[in-house]
Structures are given as structure tokens and as C-alpha cells.
Structure 1
Amino acid sequence: MGFDGDDSVKMMVLNEDFLKDEYDESYSWRRPLLEAQRNVLSAFCSCEWEGHTVRLSSGEFMNAVVAGKVGNPELVVMHGFGNGLAFWASNLDALTQSHRVFLLDWIGCAGSSRKHFQLGMSAEETENFFVDELRDCILQMKESSELGFPFQKPFSILGHSLGGFLSCVFAETYPELVKDLVLACPVGIPRTPINKHPPATAPLGKRLLFFVVFFLWRLNFTPQWFMRIGGNLFGKNLALRFVKSRFPYMTEDQTKIMCDYLYWISIPPASGEYAINHLLEPGAWARRPLVDRLPKLKIPVSFIYGDKDWMSWHHAGEVSKIMKSPAVVHIIEGGGHHSYMEAKDEFNALVAQSLENDRAKISSLEELANS
């Protein structure tokens, strides 16, 4: 679907005041980034949507895309590490059938402002870096007449990978705002194993690779860093290799559009990407694992995994057994870590099913609490 001349698609246009205010420095990289975001959304979805810059009380801003009918149940959708809100483009048509959808970029990531990230923060401080600004973003949108005054009631959250981890932390930190969670391949559920290093009997190449990754991890080297220093040619080549390896089913045009978007969300000044080392140990083991936190939630939680995902669904299966609130684990046959794109129809159906079932569970929980 094209964009020019198509009234079914709306995109925020930054005005002259924006160019002159405190966001001036950020605008130089946001212009091509928002253009790339628009191209992805135009290529992968047909529903009407609007782009917004949400100014926060801290002076930062968060990038948002809003779609769906005002008055429908509200669903906030959060991307994973190294991704951005437009990675959800192929899900937007389905999600907006029943929900008012808010795609957001985490602070310090993709199209949101690059808030200063203090290296050496604790894991808890790093979590707050993200969830406190997300809360402020919600509160700012809540007062917006342009958006129809959303979030007057608790809302649902769908989060992928690290975004799923942080979505769970958000629900734990601000339980009054969230009514249910859908976590797609969330990182960080199990505790760090005692023997996390490859055994001495492991092949030498595997042991060397682990220690190289361990070394780079500790020094805060990220995939974005390599893309950033690679410049236009090498950086875009890295983005192209990632897109082709993860999404081989895309057409040539789709691959080019997604590659361009990945490049532009990766090269702005580093900020939120540094969280990977502060939240996770090498091997993607959470420093503050969810296995100790999910059981404290009082809302329904649904997990969705691909059976070929490198993130094991078994951890969610185990923690769901000790959760006090309703919890269910869905497995998509043949799906990988990006099942929301690889198997979008089945994924979208599971999200819709989870949110529909959660409404009944929430009513039962409320009746139980009032009895």
C-alpha cells in the first residue's frame, strides 16, 4: 500500500516549533527514522494510524503510533531489544479489530529520545530508567484530547523479548495501571544457572566464542555499536544480513524497507541499548529474574513462544504452576523468536484469544475480591 495521497494513513508532521525547541539536536536523525518507520507501516499494514511524539515531564520524549477505534479496550505494545515499534506493523491490522492499539518505542530506543544512560547503574535502577518514563508517557497521553483521553482504566500490555521482561516489571511496579499481560518470548524468567560457562569438554571454538561474547558484553559493546561505526555501507550491510537471516520469507522490497528501518533505529546516539548488560548477564540470564516476581502479580498473564525459539518456553511453564493469578503458555509450532512476524496469523489469533479470555478471568477475580 502506498502512502502519498492515501488518506487512510496519517503521519505526524514535525512543525517549525519542533525544530526550534529542545529537541532540535534529535531531529536530525529522527527525520529519516520516522520516514523509514512510515515506509514499514505503509508496507505491512492497511489500517489508519497516527504518529505522535509524546513529551514527558522529564524533558524527554517517546515515539508512538496509535491505531484503532477510540473506546475499544486499550492495548499497549512494546518492542524487544534492538527493535522498534514498526516491527509490529504486520500485526496492526489484526490487533485493531478489537483494540485501540498504542505502539511505543522505549525511552532511549528507536524513535524515542536518547535519555542519558548512566553506566554502572544497578539492575533495579536500569528497570526504573524504562518503566518510570513509560508511566509518565501513559499519564501524558491520558490528558490528550487529540487521542480521546485514553487510559482512564487499566489497560493490556503486549511485550516481546526484553520488552516482555520490562512490561512485566512495569506491571509489578505500577499494578494499578495494568489489567493483563501478554508476553511474547520474554527474556529473563529463570535464575542464572550455577554452571553457566561451557564445560571444559565443550569444543574449543564454543568456549572461545563464549569468552569473546562475555568480554564484549561486559564492555557494553552492542550490535548497534557495530552498525554505528560501520557507517552507511557496512552498517546497512549488517542490517541487511540481520533482516535476511531472521525474515527470509520477505519480498525483496519488504527486505529493503525493513533493513532501512533497522539501520535508522540503530545508529542514533547510544542510550537504552546499554541496558542489556545492566539487566542481563552474558547468556541472557536476568540479574533480577522474573521467576521471583511473576508469582506476585494479581493479573492474568499469557505467554506465547515459538517451538523453535532460542528462549525456552519451559521456564514459563514452570513459573505458571506457582503463579496465583491465571497463567497460560501457548506454543506456535514452527515459530521462532519473532513468531509475531514469522507466524503472524497464528500469533494474532493467540493474542486475541488471550485478551478475550482474560476479560472473563478479570471479572472472576473482581467478583472473588468483592465477595
Structure 2
Amino acid sequence: MAPANDSQGATGSQEHLPTPPTGRIPQTKKAFFPLGYKEAAFQWWHSVTPPIAERNVIAHIPYLREAIGSLESTPSADHPGAVQSSARTDPYGPRTWRSMMVPLSGKNRELNEFSVQRDGEEVDDTLVMLHGYGAGLGFFYKNFEPITRNEGWKLYALDMLGMGNSTRPTFHIKSKDPAGKIDEAESWFVDALEEWRKIRKIEKFTLLGHSMGGYLAVSYALKYPGHLNKLILASPVGVPEDPYAANADMPEPQESTFQDEFTVDQEATTRSTGNANSRLSSPGSSGASTPKKRPYPGWLTWLWDANVSPFSIVRLTGPLGPRFVSGWTSRRFNHLPEEERQTLHDYAYSLFRQPGSGEYALPYLLAPGAHARRPVINRIQDVGRQPIPTTPSDETPPTTVAKETGFPIVFMYGENDWMDVAGGLAAEVKVREARERALQTATPEEKARENGGAKVIVVTRAGHHLYLDNPDEFNEYLREELEDTRRQTLKERVEQAKRKATLT
């Protein structure tokens, strides 16, 4: 296994970054694809490399400064050297960021990593952030600075294997049965995360996943127990078993659907509708009893099962790719300042045009309409309740020595989210019931360590991308969760010291 190496080069300054000569998205056009043909062809020909596009997004982060890279590194077009996100004095720091490619075992397997550390402080806790399907860590750019104001934390944001600016190895499924295919598709991502954790020598951490990242965070928690302090699921995909069923466990969802991801104007999504409290009403409030299905057209189902993704279309359309992408970015980012809108459009296009890899896992995990083939609601009660195996040696096989005693699970949804909050509410009930069952048979020591539970939070003036739609409120909720986790960490540390003192 190769060691992690800094890929960002030596010293430099922000003004040395090349200005992206990309086509500008008009502010006044209301067309579904607002970028013109000439502008699209111009961007296709002159667009900056994906690492530069990511660094241009990072440049919008205030206060944070890049750590000085290795003096042996040589600046290049892709890695031009150190960049300061801001020349202003950091009132919450000092804090530095670093961007690296972390090699994993096997061929063409590296994870793109962005980290922020508070200089001169001991790291008590670690936060790891996972993006959604086809996205990248750069979309969290409005969260990195505020949430690293909390003392004692180090932040890592990762591009999942085969997505973002991580490497794009060939995706293969060998299994023939449906369950085996799902196992392989999940393991493609979570095995890479576990290998990264071992390289970074992180024993326990808090894991935050958005959308598909949330689904995979649950899969990680179940496959690799004993390493999480808290699980934060931001608008996770794949929670309900039947999102259009109406029964005692799963009320009828709002009208917002998967199609809204591509068609809804974000300025409308970030307006308050007074819907936040109503979305937290108790499950089972609907009086309907007959499941209602919303059929999808046959062509959509065929494309989905054939692994034809939106990113395939971007690549196939060549010079028209930026125009196709502008149909999504012009709506998704139109609530942001102009320069940020343009930077995120350039970044999104730089990701979408890269060779297909991790995106091909989607039809194995989700059915058309983003409905999970292995729903989270059927597994959530086992999260934090898994046996913890010992580390195997050459002489002895792994044996079970302990069992997890739960950890907090936080579901977060946007007020205008097309992902139905009812899934989170039903999951909250199942987690609470699992805790009650565990306490009935727990030993005194297990009862003392019991820390399971779940809650649902709704962020106002936000949709599916709540971390970007209303970052101020999202960041405030997240900082409260991190502070709560650190208090628990320090408490456990004191208790461990007391036990050691008693034994000696």
C-alpha cells in the first residue's frame, strides 16, 4: 500500500491560478439550456482541468490558508502550487487546508482528499464528509469554514472512488444474483473509505453523507462497525421501502419528486413556505390506505437499467456538453452570486465530463426515481448495534469480543426537499425501538455505554442540497452536533482515565 502523498505542489499565490476562459452563463435568458452554442463550444475547447476547477471553488472560502506543500513538489498545470483562499486574518483560527490524492491498494485507485485543521490545537474528533451521486467535495465550499470554527476538530472531505476528482477505475460487477450485485456496488465505495481510514490512522470519527453519500454512510456503518461516533445523513437517498405508500409507518409524501432535481428553480426552493413544521408531523398522519405508484416512462427505465447516466450524455454531446450542463447549473446555483454561479458551473462540467466509473453503480443500488433496491428503513435499526470483530492475526481468526452500544443518528432535510422527510421520521422510530430492545438485555457495562438515538431536523428555505441552499442554518445545526459529540468524547476520555487509575 502506497503512502499518501501531497499532490498540490509548493508555494505560490492565488493570483497565479489561471483565469478560466470559459463561456459565461447569461443571467437574463430563461431557456432551459441558457448557455449558447458558441459559448458551449468555447468552454468545451478551453475549459480548465478538473483540479484547477476545484481550486477555483476553494478560492471562494474565506479565512482559510493552504498549508505549504512539500519542497520537493514541482508546480504544474494541474497543481500550480499553494493558494490562499483569503488574505484576511482568520478570526477563528489560524486554520489551514490541504488537498491531496491518497493512493489505495490496487490499480488506479486514489481518493481526492480535502482537509482543514486548526493550527496548534490537539485533535479530539474527526469529521468526514461524503458528497452525493456524481458530485464532488467542492460543493461543500460554504460549509468548510464555518464548521471548522469548532475547537478540537479536524475535517476531511472526500471524493468517493470513481467520482469527483478521485481516480476513475473500471467498474465491474461479477455477481449474478441481485443481492450479490448490491453488495458489490456498495463495497466499491465503502471498502475504499475503510482503506482510507486505516491509512489516516483514524480510530473513530463522525461521518456526514449527503444524498447517495448518506446511503453509503449507512452501508459503511453496517459493514465496518466500531468506528463511528455519530452519523449525520443530509437528505439521504434510499430510506423508504416504498416512497409512495401510505400506511402507519410511512405517510404519503409531498408532491416534490426526483424530477425536481433537474427542473426546479433554486431561487424558489430557497424561499420559506412555512412547511418546516408540517414536515415534522408524526408518521401515519395520512388517512390513505392504498399504495399509490407514480409510473416512470419506459424509455427512462430502459436508460436507467442500461447504465446511461446524465454524465454519459455530457460526454457524448462533446462541444454541446457545457450547454447541457447549464440546464442544471443555471437552476441549481441561481440563488448564488454571479461569480460563484459561474465557478460552480465550470466545476460541475469538469466533473461530469470525466470518464465514467463510480456512476455505473447507480442502477445496482437504486431503481428509477431514486428508490433504493435495499432500503435503508429495513436496516437502520441495526446501525450502531453490530458485533465488533477483533483484528485477526496470522495464528487466530477474527472473533467477536464486543458489540456496539449505539451512537446518535441525525437525519437532516430541506423544507422544500424532494426527498421525503417521512423516511427519516420512520427511521427515528425504528432506532428508538432498537435502543429499547438493546437495554432490556444489556449488561450494566453496556447500559453505561449506551449512546443510541436518532432525530430529524428540517432546514428552512432549503431543498435537497440543504448544505448549499441555506448554509447558515445548516452549518449552525452541524456545529451544535459537533459540539455535542466533542463533549461526549471528552467525557469518555475522563472515564477511561479513571478506569486506568483504578486498575493501577
Give 1:252 shift: 2.3
CA separation in 2, counterparts of 1:208 and 1:193? 12
Structure 1 Cα separation of the partners of residues 425 and 488 of structure 2: 19
The answer for unaligned runs of 5 or more in structure 2 is: 1-10, 18-47, 66-96, 176-180, 247-292, 385-405, 436-451, 500-504
**Structure 2 residue corresponding to 1:155, chosen from 205, 210, 214:** 205
Deviations 1:133-184 (A, max 9, x none): 1111121222xxxxxxxx2x30011110000110111111112221111110
CA distance in structure 2 between the partners assigned to 1:194 and 1:313 by the alignment: 13
- The aligned residue for residue 236 of structure 2 is 186
Letter in 1 for 2:143: N
**Contact map agreement 2:173 2:184 (CA 8 A) in 1:** no
**Alpha-carbon distance between aligned partners in 2 of 1:246 and 1:348, rounded to the nearest angstrom:** 19
- Determine which of 167, 177, 193 is the counterpart of 2:227: 177
Query: 2 CA distance for matches of 1:193 and 1:65?
Result: 35
Hey, what does 2:193 align to over in structure 1? 134
Query: Which is higher, the Rg of structure 1 or of structure 2?
Result: 2
* TM superposition shift of 1:58: 2.1
> 2:13 aligns to what?
5
- The residue matched to 2:49 in structure 1 has which SS? helix
Partner of residue 37 from structure 1, selected from 37, 54, 58? 54
Residue in 2 aligned with 1:321? Answer: 429
Contact 1:156/1:180 (CA < 8 Å) preserved in 2? yes
Change (3 A) 1:360 1:66: closer
Q: CA deviation at 1:239?
A: 2.0
Mark the CA change 1:207 to 1:280 in structure 2 (over 3 Å): closer, same or farther.
closer
Partners of 1:249 and 1:308 lie apart in 2 by 15
- Residues of 1 paired with 2:300 and 2:214: CA distance? 23
- Alignment: residue pair count: 326
TM-aligned CA deviation for residue 361 of structure 1: 6.0
Query: What is the DSSP-based 3-state SS (H/G/I as helix, E as strand, rest coil) of the residue aligned with 1:43?
Result: coil
Change (3 A) 1:119 1:68: same
Question: 1:191-270 maps to which residues of 2 (within 5 A)?
Answer: 191-192=241-242, 210-231=297-318, 233-270=319-356
> Who is 2:420 aligned against?
312
TM-score by length of 1: 0.81
Report the Cα distance in structure 2 between the residues aligned to 1:194 and 1:335, rounded to whole angstroms: 22
Determine the structure 1 residue equivalent to 2:448.
none
Contact 1:61 1:107 in 2 (8 A): yes
- Which structure shows the higher helix fraction? 1
Q: 1:207 to 1:101 in 2, by over 3 A?
A: closer
Deviates more, 1:66-75 or 1:270-279: 66-75
Structure 1 unpaired stretches of 5+ = 10-30, 143-150, 197-205
Q: TM-score, normalised by structure 2?
A: 0.60
Distance 1:120 1:226, change over 3 A: farther
| Maintained 8 Å contact 2:233/2:410 | yes
Within 2, Cα distance between the matches of 1:161 and 1:136? 22
Find out whether 1:356 has 2:483 as its counterpart.
yes
Q: Deviations over 1:320-371 (max 9, x none)?
A: 012022111000122100110010000001111122234456789998xx9x
Q: Deviations over 1:59-93 (max 9, x none)?
A: 41110111122633210010001210101111110
Residue 61 (str. 1) matches residue 110 (str. 2): yes
For the aligned residues, what is the CA RMSD?
2.7
Q: Distance in 1 between matches of 2:314 and 2:489?
A: 44
**Aligned partner of residue 238 in structure 2, secondary structure:** coil
Q: 1:171 to 1:252 in 2, by over 3 A?
A: same
- Residue type at the aligned position of 2:214: G
